[in-house]
Chain A
Amino acid sequence: MVLVLALGDLHIPHRAPDLPAKFKSMLVPGKIQHIICTGNLCIKEIHDYLKTLCPDLHITRGEYDEETKYPETKTLTIGQFKLGLCHGHQVIPWGDLDSLAMLQRQLDVDILVTGHTHQFTAYKHEGGVVINPGSATGAYSSITYDVNPSFVLMDIDGLRVVVYVYELIDGEVKVDKIDFKKTTTSHSAH
């Protein structure tokens, strides 16, 4: 059982002062094995904070990130799964699932994690799964109205991944989960 935290689009300090208190109290160091972050933190302080939660931190560059040296895309393997990471402002039209599917094929990954729209989605298609963890602070977005703060926790166990999405709605944390399994062939997840 491997826990992977996926989050992004915090936009601190431009659009939000801090993570919601309820999220902060849930995110405790030492419980998570990997963190993948879609980008737009935006400052080093937040990078350092995430590093304290888990030293294995992967970030891709968002268009507002202070650090210009984060990569545009990143791929990594966790257990049986190949994961791809990209902020998403590079994929036009923004939020378009077919275009994101193309990126997924290009990166050759089972799970593609992107952000930019600040809207949580988990979409399964022929080539794999596309997950958008939304904005962890509920930051303003020109694309999505009424953004609720959200992040995703993936539990990777063999050929199965359970995606837990945590959303802060009206001051309460609500959790939902989605199951994905992959077949043994290297390319498709169903």
Chain B
Amino acid sequence: MLAEGFEDEDKWLAEGIAGIQHNAFFMHRALDENNLRDALKYSAQMLSELRTSRLSPHKYYDLYMRAFDELRRLEIFFKDETRHGVSIVDLYELVQHAGNILPRLYLLCTVGSVYMRCKDAPVRDVLKDLVEMCRAVQHPIRGLFLRSYLSQVSKDKLPDVGYEREDGESNGVMDAVEFVLQNFTEMNKLWVRLQQQQGPGRIREKREKERNELRDLVGKNLHVLSQIEGVDLEMYKDTVLPSVLEQVVNCKDELAQFYLMECIIQVFPDEYHLQTLETLLGACPQLQPTVDIKTVLSQLMDRLSNYASSSTEVLPEFLQVEAFTKLSTAIGRVIEAQVDMPLVGAISLHVSLLTFTLRVHPDRLDYVDEVLGSCVKKLSGKPRLDDNRATKQVVALLSAPLDKYNDIVTALTLSNYPRVMDHLDHETNKAMAMVIIQSVMKNNTYISTADKVEVLFELIKGLIKDSDETTEDEVDEEDFNEEQNSVARLIHMLHNDDPEEMFKIICTVKKHIMSGGPRRLPFAVPSLIFSSLRLIRQLQGQDGDIVGEEVPTTPKKIFQLLNETIEALASVSSPELALRLSLQCAEAANDCDLEPVAYEFFTQAFVLYEEEIADSKAQVTAIHLIIGTLQRMNVFGVENRDTLTHKATGYSAKLLKKPDQCRAVYACSHLFWVDDQDGIKDGERVLLCLKRALRIANAAQQMANVTRGSSGPVTLFVEILNKYIYYFEKGNPQITSSTIQGLIELITTEMQSDSASALPASDAFLTSTLRYIQFQKQKGGILGEKYGPIKVHIPA
């Protein structure tokens, strides 16, 4: 059925075009012969084709344009009185004799446009006459095109600045404005009427489509108004805008209202909008409730934002007209009025307002906060967002201040920021938290007060602890690790040079991460510990009397905090990490001369070793860390030192694998010899360790013999030999050149025995060791003398 209709339309259009062409041909001939009568006759017939009501706007336009072109030729003819001999005034009279009204009016407008150009022509009267007479055509499509024609032919003859009326009365600009306004009003009425036709959905859709095709005809009037030079701000404010808005509101038509509001915003200069903001915004609540006002407002705000960015000189204007307040109020009213507006709409309005605010008043953080607050109000009372688009808008809302103020600290002062975040669903909340952290890291911002840290952690709380809604299986391990590592890195960005404030920061951080649960502690705790150790070191450097009323931050206080933190970590199955951190703290306590504190941390480390670390490989590393740390301790008195050393050597000897035992034991030898001025230098106990190591190495060899049929490589022996050499050089009286010689021979024999399994590496090791001895001998001096008696034979 529809297809048939279309086919028909094409047919009718073709017929119309043929009609026009046919009559145009004769009209041209009449024009060539300067035959006015025939010209009028054929042009009227031609214009009759426009009387059709069978065409859609799109096709009617085609027909109209052809007629339009032909009328231009006619106009040229009219202009030249010598060709037709009739005065323009008479011509104006003459064309009104045309039979049908539509052709009559087209001809009249054509003559009128020529008339208006004449000197001393009564332009005002002509315009008024034409715009009134067009009222005779009330058919929407025909009327719109007729009036469009009127507008087209008159627009360059409108009186503007510099025009003088013959009777010297008020300026011509007002006449022009009134003319255009009236034409606009009438056109809008016609346009709206097109919608009135009720009918089933298909008809209505068709109507809407037609209306959309016609809308630019109506909008053109506004464009014409904007082009009139004489329409200055005052005239716009007093006359143009009120009249246009009156029509917009009164027509009560959704399509028209939306289109025309957009038109006004696009066509007139931003400066005018700024100065008439109240009027313009005042119209918004009066519009039909179904009008998509948020798009209109967004457009307005975007234009004003761009205007603000264009030059700094316009900014004071914004303040002067209180643009922000007006926009903010308007938005509030619209949201209130349009109860059915979906959430995404309301939020995107806020996003536009925020963008506006950030561009125009970036220094007014109170404005920014206000926008966020208004959004919070809108979101309050609702459950967490689950609408994707609304969520995206909220994220845009939250990201805008971060992008604008590269300094996260500014965003932290916005009291409503965390409240907005609370309304995001859990996943998005975490993603936003990551954005915030990345913003801090990227811009190298340091957060320097405990209060700000508190706010920051409030913002990222989705990462730091379990919310009520998370379930275990939701968490992707890689994502989780990335999040927690980000939090760990963030902790290093929290810093203040003032120790008091820094301690407050540390306490705040501790409070928050302690509630993180077993999965999170291993990530965040090390960062906290090292942050604290840095503070302790800073306090060390500030020796001397600290004068103050309150008890200042002392290393002792910090060590207490560290103790608690490590205990918490130890209780969630991270014994290896806890052990390492305890040793770090022990060393720091050593540097602060706090013997009991250092001892306490060592105790903690040993307990962890004894009770929690069962893996052999982990034990080897752990015991070496203990030995290495203990070796550096100088704060312990004899008793404490003995206890710890005894423990260390005991555990070393109890490691599972013999080679590991051997190595740990000879490492323990260093516990008895510290090269410092006041360091312990117990030669006997050193030797005891080395001898014990030798025994273990021997045992290892024998075991290898038994289990594998050949003895293992001599590497361990060579290592021990190197240790002997070490202490020999340091002057341990228990180690003589003959001790060394004996060991060398032992090794050589072992290597040459039948059951030896040679390993090139250990051969090379021995060789380079012997070469070292050789080198020392040759160097001479005191050492050279010491080495004198030792004979080495270096294999080729």
CB of B631 within 8 A of CB of A92, answer yes
Residues of chain A in range 1-28 having any CB-CB distance to chain B below 8 Å: 11-18, 21
Residue in B482, B534, B588, B621 whose beta carbon sits within 8 Å of that of A63 in the complex: B621
B13 interface residue per 8 A CB criterion? no
Q: Please judge, given known A-B contacts A98-B729, A99-B726, A105-B772, whether A18 and B489 are in contact too, CB under 8 Å.
A: yes
Query: What's the minimum C-beta distance from A43 to chain B, rounded to whole angstroms?
Result: 6
A106 to B492, CA, bound (A): 39
A101 to B722, CA, bound (A): 10
Q: Please judge, given known A-B contacts A64-B580, A106-B719, A142-B584, whether A14 and B628 are in contact too, CB under 8 Å.
A: no
* Chain B residues, Cβ within 8 Å of A15: 492, 526-527, 530
Query: What's the minimum C-beta distance from B693 to chain A, rounded to whole angstroms?
Result: 13
A58 interface residue per 8 A CB criterion? no
A13 to B524, CA, bound (A): 9
* Chain B residues, Cβ within 8 Å of A139: 530
Q: Please judge, given known A-B contacts A14-B526, A14-B527, A92-B631, whether A21 and B485 are in contact too, CB under 8 Å.
A: no
CB of A16 within 8 A of CB of B492, answer yes
Query: What's the minimum C-beta distance from A16 to chain B, rounded to whole angstroms?
Result: 6
Query: What's the minimum C-beta distance from B763 to chain A, rounded to whole angstroms?
Result: 10
Residues of chain B in range 721-760 having any CB-CB distance to chain A below 8 Å: 722-723, 726, 729
* Chain B residues, Cβ within 8 Å of A21: 444
B138 interface residue per 8 A CB criterion? no
A126 to B629, CA, bound (A): 29
A15 to B492, CA, bound (A): 7
Residue in B492, B580, B629, B722 whose beta carbon sits within 8 Å of that of A17 in the complex: B492
CB of B534 within 8 A of CB of A140, answer yes
A95-109 near B? 1/0 per residue, CB < 8 Å: 000110110011010
B402 interface residue per 8 A CB criterion? no
B759-779 near A? 1/0 per residue, CB < 8 Å: 001001100110110011000
Query: What's the minimum C-beta distance from B497 to chain A, rounded to whole angstroms?
Result: 15
A11 to B667, CA, bound (A): 26
A89 interface residue per 8 A CB criterion? yes
Residue of B nearest to A66 (CB): B481
B533 interface residue per 8 A CB criterion? yes
A94 interface residue per 8 A CB criterion? yes
A21 to B482, CA, bound (A): 21
Query: What's the minimum C-beta distance from A164 to chain B, rounded to whole angstroms?
Result: 26
A45 to B523, CA, bound (A): 14
Query: What's the minimum C-beta distance from B691 to chain A, rounded to whole angstroms?
Result: 18
B628-672 near A? 1/0 per residue, CB < 8 Å: 110110000000000000000000000000000000000100100
Query: What's the minimum C-beta distance from B541 to chain A, rounded to whole angstroms?
Result: 9
A145 interface residue per 8 A CB criterion? yes
Query: What's the minimum C-beta distance from B257 to chain A, rounded to whole angstroms?
Result: 54
* Chain B residues, Cβ within 8 Å of A143: 632
Residue of A nearest to B666 (CB): A92
Count how many chain A residues have C-beta atoms less than 8 Å from C-beta atoms of the other chain. Answer: 33
* Chain A residues, Cβ within 8 Å of B341: none
A43 to B486, CA, bound (A): 11
A143 to B588, CA, bound (A): 10
* Chain A residues, Cβ within 8 Å of B533: 140, 142
Query: What's the minimum C-beta distance from A115 to chain B, rounded to whole angstroms?
Result: 14
Residue in A13, A93, A94 whose beta carbon sits within 8 Å of that of B488 in the complex: A13
A106 to B723, CA, bound (A): 12
A90 interface residue per 8 A CB criterion? yes
CB of A43 within 8 A of CB of B729, answer no
A18 to B491, CA, bound (A): 12
CB of B765 within 8 A of CB of A106, answer yes
Residue in A12, A13, A106, A142 whose beta carbon sits within 8 Å of that of B587 in the complex: A142
CB of A89 within 8 A of CB of B624, answer yes
Residues of chain A in range 93-146 having any CB-CB distance to chain B below 8 Å: 93-94, 98-99, 101-102, 105-106, 108, 126-127, 139-140, 142-143, 145
CB of B627 within 8 A of CB of A92, answer yes
* Chain B residues, Cβ within 8 Å of A92: 624, 627-628, 631, 667, 670
A187 interface residue per 8 A CB criterion? yes
CB of B768 within 8 A of CB of A93, answer no
Residue of A nearest to B673 (CB): A93
Query: What's the minimum C-beta distance from B118 to chain A, rounded to whole angstroms?
Result: 75
CB of B530 within 8 A of CB of A140, answer yes
A102 to B764, CA, bound (A): 12
Residue of A nearest to B722 (CB): A102
Residue of B nearest to A46 (CB): B485
Q: Please judge, given known A-B contacts A17-B492, A108-B764, whether A102 and B631 are in contact too, CB under 8 Å.
A: no
* Chain B residues, Cβ within 8 Å of A94: 628, 631-632
* Chain B residues, Cβ within 8 Å of A63: 580, 621, 625
* Chain B residues, Cβ within 8 Å of A187: 768, 771
A43-58 near B? 1/0 per residue, CB < 8 Å: 1010000000000000
Residue of A nearest to B493 (CB): A17
Residues of chain B in range 464-519 having any CB-CB distance to chain A below 8 Å: 481-482, 485-486, 488-490, 492-493
CB of B670 within 8 A of CB of A93, answer yes
CB of A13 within 8 A of CB of B588, answer no
Query: What's the minimum C-beta distance from B516 to chain A, rounded to whole angstroms?
Result: 15
* Chain A residues, Cβ within 8 Å of B769: 105
A114 to B517, CA, bound (A): 36
CB of A126 within 8 A of CB of B632, answer no
B690-725 near A? 1/0 per residue, CB < 8 Å: 000000000000000000000000010011001100
Residue of A nearest to B769 (CB): A105
Residue of A nearest to B615 (CB): A68
CB of A12 within 8 A of CB of B489, answer yes
Residue of B nearest to A106 (CB): B765
Q: From A93, A108, A143, name the one whose CB has the most chain B CB atoms within 10 angstroms.
A: A93
* Chain A residues, Cβ within 8 Å of B621: 63, 89-90
B251 interface residue per 8 A CB criterion? no
A66 to B366, CA, bound (A): 45
Query: What's the minimum C-beta distance from B677 to chain A, rounded to whole angstroms?
Result: 15
Residue of B nearest to A11 (CB): B530
CB of A90 within 8 A of CB of B624, answer yes
CB of B527 within 8 A of CB of A13, answer yes
* Chain B residues, Cβ within 8 Å of A14: 488, 526-527, 530
CB of B627 within 8 A of CB of A102, answer no
CB of A102 within 8 A of CB of B726, answer yes
* Chain A residues, Cβ within 8 Å of B580: 63-64
Query: What's the minimum C-beta distance from A93 to chain B, rounded to whole angstroms?
Result: 5
B274 interface residue per 8 A CB criterion? no
* Chain B residues, Cβ within 8 Å of A102: 719, 722-723, 726
B602-640 near A? 1/0 per residue, CB < 8 Å: 000000000000000000010011011101100000000
* Chain A residues, Cβ within 8 Å of B493: 17
B537 interface residue per 8 A CB criterion? yes
A180 to B485, CA, bound (A): 40
CB of B628 within 8 A of CB of A89, answer yes
Residue of A nearest to B530 (CB): A15
Query: What's the minimum C-beta distance from B462 to chain A, rounded to whole angstroms?
Result: 19
A45 to B580, CA, bound (A): 22
Residue in B489, B629, B722, B768 whose beta carbon sits within 8 Å of that of A108 in the complex: B768
Residues of A within 8 A of B (CB): 11-18, 21, 43, 45, 63-64, 89-90, 92-94, 98-99, 101-102, 105-106, 108, 126-127, 139-140, 142-143, 145, 187
The 6 A-B residue pairs whose C-beta atoms are closest, nearest first, are A13-B488, A14-B526, A142-B587, A17-B489, A13-B489, A105-B768
28 A-B contact pairs sorted by A residue (CB < 8 Å): A11-B530, A13-B485, A14-B488, A15-B526, A15-B530, A17-B489, A17-B490, A18-B489, A45-B482, A90-B621, A92-B627, A92-B628, A92-B670, A93-B632, A94-B628, A105-B772, A108-B764, A126-B772, A126-B775, A126-B776, A127-B768, A139-B530, A142-B533, A142-B584, A142-B588, A142-B632, A145-B537, A187-B771
Further contacts, 17 of them, CB under 8 A, given A101-B772, A106-B718, A142-B629: A13-B526, A43-B485, A45-B485, A89-B621, A89-B628, A90-B621, A90-B624, A92-B627, A93-B675, A94-B632, A102-B722, A105-B772, A108-B765, A140-B534, A143-B632, A145-B537, A187-B768
